[in-house]
Amino acid sequence: MSQPLRIAVAGASGRMGHMLIEAIAASPDCQLAGALDIAGSPALGQDATAFLGRTSGVAITSDLRAGLANSQFLIDFTRPEGTLAHLAVCRELGVKVVIGTTGFSDAQKAQIAEAAKDTAVMMAPNMSVGVNVVLKLLQQAARALAEGYDIEIIEAHHRHKVDAPSGTALKMGEVVAQALGRDLKSCAVYGREGVTGERDPSTIGFATIRGGDVVGDHTVLFAGIGERIEISHKASSRATFAQGSLRAVRFLAGQSKGLFGMDDVLGLA
């Protein structure tokens, strides 16, 4: 039997960190090799799988190099600044990175692309297999409904999410805009208030909902005269993101360097 894939998890004490660690622990071909959290976290020093009622021998640390010392891969669902700091060290050490963090600026995305010249990076705004299938469906729908349909994207997430619209909603907008030959930056409308005038048919609208413990709901609405087409994805558990992340790790195991997306992982490219 081949050696297990040695994986470190950033944000190990958070909701997504726990889900990733649980998924790694349940996968025979994967092994938890590092657990990272921010300095000052009350979880520092604790065994990373203590929340599962078991011990792994991996203590949660804020020392990035120590946390990556035995790791081949890092899965990172944190914040843009933290992810970039982690990526810089991973680039130096040759650790491959799965990035599920959202909210990157164009300049930050360029930094990630630069790092991918030296190590393998898989970055996607959503690791769900279902969401990435939906992105392909949106390409087809947008091309077929290019005339006479208004396009609106509605997304909902839990109260703790800090960026809006979600990275997934923006990716959906990018996919639709590209299929229509438009630039999302010039046609996106992120809010409406007051007397806005009639809707510009060339725009793509976004609506954001934040509340409770919603894991993630996304709907793209194509509204025509006499009919509406809705393409939706609703996540009921973060487990889908964790399983998608492990599929990304397995894909990166065969790559030495380069920047990839979930469409590469799933063979949808």
Q: Domain boundaries in the chain?
A: 5-123+238-265, 129-235
Query: What pLDDT score was predicted for residue 44?
Result: 96
Pull the structure tokens for residue 41.
Answer: 């976290």
- Active site residues per annotation: 157, 161
**Among residues 134, 145, 136, which one has the least CA distance to residue 228?**
145
CATH superfamily assigned to domain 129-235: Dihydrodipicolinate Reductase; domain 2 (3.30.360.10)
pLDDT band of residue 180 (cuts 50, 70, 90) is very high
d(CA 257, CA 120): 4
DSSP assigned state of 179: H
**Residue 229 and residue 222: Cα distance in Å, rounded?**
5
Task: Assign a CATH topology to domain 5-123+238-265.
Answer: Rossmann fold (3.40.50)
User: DSSP alpha helices (H): ranges in the chain?
Assistant: 15-25, 64-68, 80-93, 106-115, 129-144, 167-179, 184-187, 239-252, 262-265
As a whole number of angstroms, the distance between CA 185 and CA 244 comes to: 28
Q: Fold identical between 5-123+238-265 and 129-235?
A: no
pLDDT (mean) for 134-150: 97
What span, in angstroms and rounded, lies between the C-alpha atoms of 23 and 72? 17
pLDDT at 26: 96
Beta-bridged to residue 74, according to DSSP, are: 8, 97
Band (pLDDT 50/70/90 cuts) for residue 54 is very high
- Of the pLDDT bands very low, low, confident and very high (cuts 50, 70, 90), residue 1 is low
| Tokens found for residue 207 | 């609506």
Confidence of residue 269 (pLDDT cuts 50, 70, 90): confident
pTM (predicted TM-score): 0.84
What is the per-residue pLDDT across 183-218, written as a single tens digit (0 to 9) for each?
999 999 999 999 999 999 999 999 999 999 999 999
Q: To the nearest whole number, what is the mean pLDDT of the chain? A: 96
